[in-house]
Structure 1
Amino acid sequence: MTIDYKQAGVDVTAGNAAAKAYAPLAKATQDANVLAGLGGFAAAYRMPATANPVLLAATDGVGTKLLLAKELGVHDTIGIDLVAMVANDLLADGATPMFFLDYMATDKLDVDLASAVVAGIARGCQLAHLALIGGETAEMPGMYPAGHYDLAGFAVGYADAERVLPRSVAAGDVLLGLPSSGVHSNGFSLVRKLLAETDLGQTPLADGRDVAAALLTPTRIYADEMGALLQANLLHGAAHITGGGFTDNVPRMLPDDLAARIDARSWQWPELFRRLQAAGDISLPDMRQTFNLGMGMVLSVAAGDVDRVRALVPDAVQIGVVALREQGAAVVWEDE
């Protein structure tokens, strides 16, 4: 009996068809610094000219938000989430994004589904000003349940070594929040449990959107806003509010002797977060350590620069200040 690779569960022809479908999607994201296109063993990217250059790299995935995308049959936006999670990390450290590579693994390759995912990745790269220069699609029968896939993204940016963030964060700095587009891509193990075991998804949001569909809203990419602020040299620090919420991410931009004093009255949580909290009777500390609560990026800026920042990013919201850290937490909430 003859057994070939296809009988073992790997369809090389489908893989080649997928690669062919990806090529124009990737090409639409590429700039003059890309020296080699998809199809080679590696891709090349010319380092932009900058003083004191340093490379910054980040990698991430989208977690169990993929399972909700599968459940709803929506695969053309999850790639935006993938790019956003990586690009926003780079931006928070002051990097100018350069290029992105993706990894998709599945039990059996569905060319149409994979092309929809990569189309979302390409769209995310355009929003983040990243060149999609390569990736890998792996068909691995037996590794994943039927119909499932996983994603990972990798990106590189550059900066002047003297302007990498955080730097010069000081007591008296103002904290500004940049609104999120929704839950972004964190906390979905809890979200999915609430959808399955409570009435969370049974009543539409006030704007008429289905709750589950609203939860799939792609993560906001802050490339244009952060790029303008970095170019104007207006940032002392930035925190991307991802896994760990405010509690774990804001301290990453703070020196050990400083704390973020956040005024909880300075913005109202979007309805989706209020519904999540009510559905699971989730404590306030857990909400603050799990979700972005409507603010996807927190900036530390000099008090005298707030008006200049707002001129460049009109939707920035003042949410607190940086203060000396007394004994206790690095993030202090003022609720009254």
Structure 2
Amino acid sequence: MQPPEPITYKDAGVDIEAGDELVERIKPAVKRSMRPEVLGGLGGFGALFEIPLDRYKKPVLVSGTDGVGTKLRLAIETGRHATIGIDLVAMCANDVVVQGAEPLFFLDYYATGKLSVEVAETVIKGIVEGCIQAGAALIGGETAEMPGMYADGDYDLAGFCVGIVEKDAIIDGRNTRPGDVIIGLPSSGPHSNGYSLIRKLIKTSKATPTTKIDGGLLYDALLAPTRIYVKPLLELAKVVPVRSFAHITGGGLSENIPRVIPNGLEVMLSSQTWQQPAVFDWLQKAGSIPAAEMYRTFNCGIGMTVCVAAEHADKAMRSLAEHGEKPAVIGEVRRGDAGVVIRS
């Protein structure tokens, strides 16, 4: 009986050399996101980060993890991989900063059936860009090649972010009072939420990558990277006492703002106070979606809200504008239990 031919890991569909090549190719990009607290480099079993105790008396670590949902499906189908990594960082870092925390570091998980070094490198460079925007170091990650788990050309992403905040500087909404002002910060589009519905609307309306909206392309609007609000918000927290931040993600304006509003209070917003991007008009028309459903599914043009006392509103607006935002006062807090009321 002849001995069987030797079978290698590569024969089973896992290319170790490709993984090694990817690590070498991304090292220069990853280096751009480094912070002085990072100890060591890529390739270790665990990433090391020294807590900056010289700046904190009672440091509290704040963590967040997320993916990009089925927006990834659109990126894969259109071959647009360069900015989906920004989305990944944004979904985690924006959640961390709402507590008043400075993002420190980020780790990613990239899984695929067969590793394309070129695609993975493009995606990870986008993650690096997101980390730079958030001020976080990309200190590690995992690339998993799993034959049989994914269709050809498919990959999946997840991320994990850790931030830090002084214990007595945690922002949680508990000091919110009637009469407080709600400031809205513009989104770049749907960000990374509602894409299961978006993809259904694309299919039912027979939209294509060449479909135009308001002078631009629909797919450009749908794949615009999620905005990262970290640096303007951290600067704002230095100059005014912030009642709360709310990251407008899945659940839209209706579901996310109440997460940081105490019981017995509600928020009144006026939709006339901000400009809704054309992509949301297209979505609403394509699905004949009622306004209430739009507000509980999408951000509808507001990616982050800020709540401050009325006497601090002008100073808050100036600070946000000085750091690149285009803030607008979109509502106020009042007594009640209706959650969020949005009037047209």
Q: TM-score band, normalised by the shorter chain?
A: over 0.9
> Deviations 1:254-273 (Å, cap 9, x if unpaired)?
11111111112212311110
Distance 2:242 2:206 in 1: 42
Aligned pair partner of 1:321 in 320, 329, 332? 332
Partner of 1:116: 122
Distance 2:168 2:107 in 1: 27
AA in 1 matched with 2:14 = V
Within 5 A, what are the aligned runs for 1:226-237?
A: 226-237=233-244
CA contact (8 A) 1:98 1:156 kept: yes
CA contact (8 A) 1:175 1:298 kept: yes
Partner of 2:313: 306
CA contact (8 A) 2:254 2:295 kept: yes
CA contact (8 A) 1:234 1:309 kept: no
CA contact (8 A) 1:200 1:276 kept: no
Aligned pair partner of 1:72 in 72, 78, 99? 78
* 131-140 or 43-52, larger mean C-alpha shift: 43-52
- Which segments of 5 or more consecutive residues in structure 1 lack a partner in the other structure? none
Distance 2:176 2:156 in 1: 38
What TM-score do you get using the length of structure 2 for normalisation? 0.94
Distance 2:206 2:107 in 1: 39
Partner of 2:162: 156
Q: Secondary structure at the match of 1:4?
A: coil
Distance 1:41 1:331 in 2: 46
AA in 1 matched with 2:231 = D
- Offset, 1:200: 4.7
Q: Secondary structure at the match of 1:108?
A: coil
Within 5 A, what are the aligned runs for 1:175-214?
A: 175-201=182-208, 203-206=211-214, 208-214=215-221
AA in 2 matched with 1:255 = P
Q: Secondary structure at the match of 1:290?
A: coil
> Deviations 1:66-103 (Å, cap 9, x if unpaired)?
11001111101000000000010011111111000000
- The number of equivalent residue pairs is 332
- Offset, 1:240: 0.2
What TM-score do you get using the length of structure 1 for normalisation? 0.96
Q: Secondary structure at the match of 2:109?
A: strand
Say if 2:43 is the partner of 1:43.
no
Distance 1:213 1:333 in 2: 28
Say if 2:94 is the partner of 1:88.
yes
Partner of 1:333: 342
> Deviations 1:143-198 (Å, cap 9, x if unpaired)?
11111000001000000111111241111110000001111000111111111110
CA contact (8 A) 2:240 2:316 kept: no
- Offset, 1:51: 2.2
Fraction of identical pairs, as percent: 48
- Offset, 1:234: 3.2
